[in-house]
Structures are given as structure tokens and as C-alpha cells.
Structure 1
Amino acid sequence: MDRRDLERLSGMAGLLDGADHVDVHTMDGRGTVLGLAAGLLSYRPAWMAWLWRVRVALLRTLGQGERAVPDRAVLTAETLPRAPGDRAGIFTVVRTDGETYWIGEGKESHLDAAVAVCGESLSEGPDGRSRFRVVTVVRYRNRAGAVYFNLIRPFHHLVVHAAMRSFLGRERG
């Protein structure tokens, strides 16, 4: 999916401006955009807790200050923050229409990152499947941001794919 196609997705206008990196993970399944966004932000198996500790050490090594492993968010479609400016795990809500997209943004000393969860129905009826896209947009603030993100990028893809599969493998709203 190229950038022009991405910008046509609900809620995406302007989100890609100035991006240093954009990736898209696509998966079909049952659920809702808010449910998937909540599932992504709440996803933290034991192996991922280890990755968070590695992240803390890496950022310290790159001179980006002290970091702590954030508390695990425990969110559902019903409890996921929706108002712009509200905190949702490590992200701040940027915008959502509550049905077809949810976008959050995280700002740190080394980079800014946005995550957009977009969905479109593939069939009619309550048991229909949808196509979900998780779009990650990264803007480097300094050289450490570029080094950091390129070192963690393979793990980023692993985490997003595993989290999507975990949520969409179950029927949830």
C-alpha cells in the first residue's frame, strides 16, 4: 500500500507529513477498530516485557536519559480513551471516529511515533469480517532516534503482527 492509498484511509489526512518511516500491517478478522487498538496497547506477553527492558538499556546507551518500563495498559474497546489529548498507555489520543479509525501519538526525546488503527468491513451483517490496518508513522528528532528505531524495527514488526494475531484470532468487539 503506497502513501497515496494510506492517506485515503479514514482519519489519515496529514498523518504521514514529514514521516521518516511508515509501515502498514494488514490482517482480516472479526472485531472492531477500538477493540483492536485496545488489544494492541494491552498486549504484553512475557517475552515483550523483556524487550521493554532492552529498550530502556538501549536508550540509556544512546544518551537519551533514564527510562522506566511503563506499566501495562489494560484496556478494552469500552475503556479505550477516545478524546483528543487523553492518555492511552504510552500514547496520547490524536483523533478517532470510534468506528473506522483510532490514532494515538507518542513523543519522546529521540523520536515521535504515531499508531493508526483503521478498519473497513468486508461483508455485511454482525458476523462479518473486517480488514484491519495498523499504520506506524515515525519521525526522528535526532540521530539517536534513527539509530534506535532501525535497531528495534524487526522487533516492532514482530510485536505488531503478534498483537494483531492475538486480538483478531478471537472474536471480540
Structure 2
Amino acid sequence: MSIQQHPILTPLIAQANHVDVKTRQIRTAEPEQELRRFIAAMIGYNPAWMQTLYAIRWGFVRMLGMRQDGIPNSNQLRPEQVPMQAGQNLGFFKVVAAAEGQYLVASASESHLTAWLAVVLEPVAGLEYKLHTVTIVRYHAWTGPVYFNVIRPFHHVVVNQMINAGLANLQAA
């Protein structure tokens, strides 16, 4: 099964304007703890260069006539603090759906677009798993594609660095 056919993602992808999937292999005997450790480190990754990008974004969205409520500040999370129930906050995202050791889907919605972040652990064989990090975007107005196409190159860099931070946390444990 392709990750895009995962039952929790299919309805989101069906109406998406953009889907990005980044997949890594991991080995674990503890998928519940590994998923939480990965997400905690990924969401908590917030170096100075990312804060600078958010500051630049603030000016850009204002040029498009939109507003941003300040610069997101991702606090460091412990794995046990990763929310696994719909409606709970995860940084500037809100959890949409989650299943321990399997997946977490969260969304952030603004006037120009809604973005979903999904982290899915897919069993391969034995202790081997595919760790999918999925970004799904749906535009709401003309500003959605304008905004996203300008930030897209930065999006890839940011998400890859967030994934690397999550993987580094798994290796350190």
C-alpha cells in the first residue's frame, strides 16, 4: 500500500493542492515510544535560522494582505507530552487524529491555506519500519498558491532539517 492510500490520509489527499512525502527507514522494537520521541524532537526543532525565516514570512504575508499572529515558538517537548488525542495542540498545529505507535495527523489553518502534517510509522518486516513525514496543503484563496510557491523551497529545507532532528533524537535514545 502506498502511503497516499493510508485510510487516515486518503480524504485529505483527495482534496489537496500539494502533497509532499519524505520517507526514512528506522529499526525499532518500541514503535509507540519511537513515534513520540521523533515527533517531540521534530516539533521542538527551532534554531535561530528558522526563526529568521519566520520573521521574513511575517513581512511576506503582510504584503499579501494577510496577518500572522507573531512568530511561532516551538517549545521543547518530552515524548510523553506529545498529544495523541484529536483537538489537542501540538506547537501551532492541532491534532486531527492519532494512534499510538502508528500515526499522528495535525493541521494548521490560515485564511490562505490549511496544511496538515502527518507522521506515519509503517511496519515493513520484523523491527523495520518506514517513517513517513507527509505535508498536505489545500489552498483557500488566490493567496494560497502564491504564498506556498514562494515558500516551497524553504519548506523542503525546513522539513528535512526537522526530520533530521527527530531521527537524531531516536539515535541518541
Question: Which category of TM-score, normalised to the shorter sequence, fits these structures?
Answer: 0.7 to 0.9
Aligned residue for 2:15? 18
CA–CA separation in structure 2 for the residues paired with 1:19 and 1:172? 35
Counterpart contact for 1:28–1:168, Cα < 8 Å:
no
Counterpart contact for 2:23–2:133, Cα < 8 Å:
yes
Please report how far the alpha carbon of residue 143 of structure 1 lies from its aligned counterpart in structure 2 after TM superposition. Answer: 1.0
CA–CA separation in structure 1 for the residues paired with 2:48 and 2:26? 25
CA–CA separation in structure 2 for the residues paired with 1:133 and 1:72? 21
Please report how far the alpha carbon of residue 73 of structure 1 lies from its aligned counterpart in structure 2 after TM superposition. Answer: 2.7
Please report how far the alpha carbon of residue 9 of structure 1 lies from its aligned counterpart in structure 2 after TM superposition. Answer: 2.9
C-alpha RMSD over aligned residues: 1.9
Aligned residue for 2:73? 71
Please report how far the alpha carbon of residue 10 of structure 1 lies from its aligned counterpart in structure 2 after TM superposition. Answer: 5.8
CA–CA separation in structure 2 for the residues paired with 1:10 and 1:119? 13
Q: Deviations over 1:28-60 (max 9, x none)?
A: 235622222222211111111111101111111
CA–CA separation in structure 2 for the residues paired with 1:48 and 1:21? 22
Matches within 5 A, 1:27-42: 27-30=24-27, 32-42=34-44
| One-letter amino acid of the structure 1 residue matched with residue 23 of structure 2 | T
Structure 1 or 2: larger helix share? 2
Match of 2:2 among 2, 5, 28: 5
Query: Identity of counterpart residues, as a percentage?
Result: 34
Aligned with 1:81: secondary structure?
coil
Is 1:137 the counterpart of 2:146? The answer is: no
Please report how far the alpha carbon of residue 92 of structure 1 lies from its aligned counterpart in structure 2 after TM superposition. Answer: 0.4
Is 1:83 the counterpart of 2:95? The answer is: no
CA–CA separation in structure 2 for the residues paired with 1:19 and 1:98? 25
Relative distance call for 1:50 and 1:62 in structure 2 (3 A) is: same
**Bigger Cα displacement from structure 2, 22-31 vs 110-119:** 22-31
Q: Deviations over 1:52-94 (max 9, x none)?
A: 1011111111100243102223223210111111111010000
Relative distance call for 1:123 and 1:169 in structure 2 (3 A) is: farther
Counterpart contact for 1:28–1:131, Cα < 8 Å:
yes
Relative distance call for 1:14 and 1:29 in structure 2 (3 A) is: same
